[in-house]
A = this chain, B = another copy of it.
Amino acid sequence: MNIGLDMMGGDFAPLEAVKGLQLYLSGNAAGVNIYAIGDEALVKPLLEEHKVTSPSVHVIHAPEVIGYHEHPTKALKEKQRSSIAIGFHLLATGKIDAFISAGNTGAMLVGAMYSIKPIEGVMRPTISTVVPKLNGTTGLLLDVGLNADCKPEQLNQFALLGSLYAQHILRIANPKVGLMNVGEEEGKGNLLAQATYPLLKENSQLNFIGNIEGRDIFFDKADVMVCDGFTGNIILKLSESIYDLANARELGNDAYFNRFHYENYGGTPVLGVAKPVVIGHGISNAKAFGNMISLAAQMIESDLCGKMAEQFSN
């Protein structure tokens, strides 16, 4: 399999991307070719310095970079030789099977939606985050910010996308799907939640267990937790701050609270588009990059996008 990695994305690029690649290659990387996309003059010496000399790493020269504050659509159009534009070009033409970047999030989303396109039948792609459960397992929360205002039918689709991700990537058999809400009983919630509940209940592709509340997020009740992107983004950022709180209280060595650190999950895949796209945190470090490459490899290996397309064609 061939994975494209944007070497120029993230606050510490390209150094942390190089170190992340090194970390990934030190594990089981058999059969994986990495296309390291970035400015040759910067990337090649760093790869050598960090002894990333595996023949499975190929540098693809990209002389331009899309900055964090550039307008996504405009930048993608004007900077055809940027690492993100080249990455999507390689992905769209099948030269690579997945693309990863910790660069301009907007540009990554625009690229995912317009050069890769949503799976047929998917109204809106979604982004998710993994959630560390107290019992040691991992849950999935979505949408976490791509869709601030949602329609009930979109949440119903996110539930299915999340459920397939939980099955094939998190390896949870028959994942329990919960609707984020303010009470347990059917009929509770805002208008969106009230209208979404019956759709989830009737969806035979889901193992819907009903409403879940804020107190259930880190506990066993549901594996896949569905909400609009406004609510989900607030939960995501609040959850990330729990790590900071634990750290500030010098509880940063607790194995559970450590799981709230973003680097442990690395990046968020864009779910509902036809090919694997993984977006990293701006502050991605080596560990985060390493984990994003592993995630992309899992997404390719499990043919997650193919399985999603299959379910949506039903």
Contact = CB atoms under 8 A, between A and B. Distances in A.
Given A249-B256, A256-B249, A214 B237 contact: yes
Contacts of A78: none
B234 A245 contact: no
Counting contact residues on chain A (CB < 8 A from B), the size range is: 35 or more
Contacts of A153: none
Contacts of A239: 214, 238
A148 B196 CA distance: 15
Interface stretch (A21-29, A112-120, A186-194): A186-194
A234 B148 contact: no
Interface of A: 134, 145, 148-149, 180, 182, 189-191, 193, 213-219, 227-231, 233-242, 244-246, 248-249, 251, 254, 256-257
Contact of A245 (B190, B218, B229): B218
A190 B235 contact: no
Contacts of A235: 214, 234-235, 238
Q: Which 4 A/B pairs are nearest by Cβ-Cβ distance?
A: A214-B237, A214-B238, A148-B190, A214-B234
B182 A234 contact: yes
A39 to B, nearest CB: 29
B190 A214 contact: no
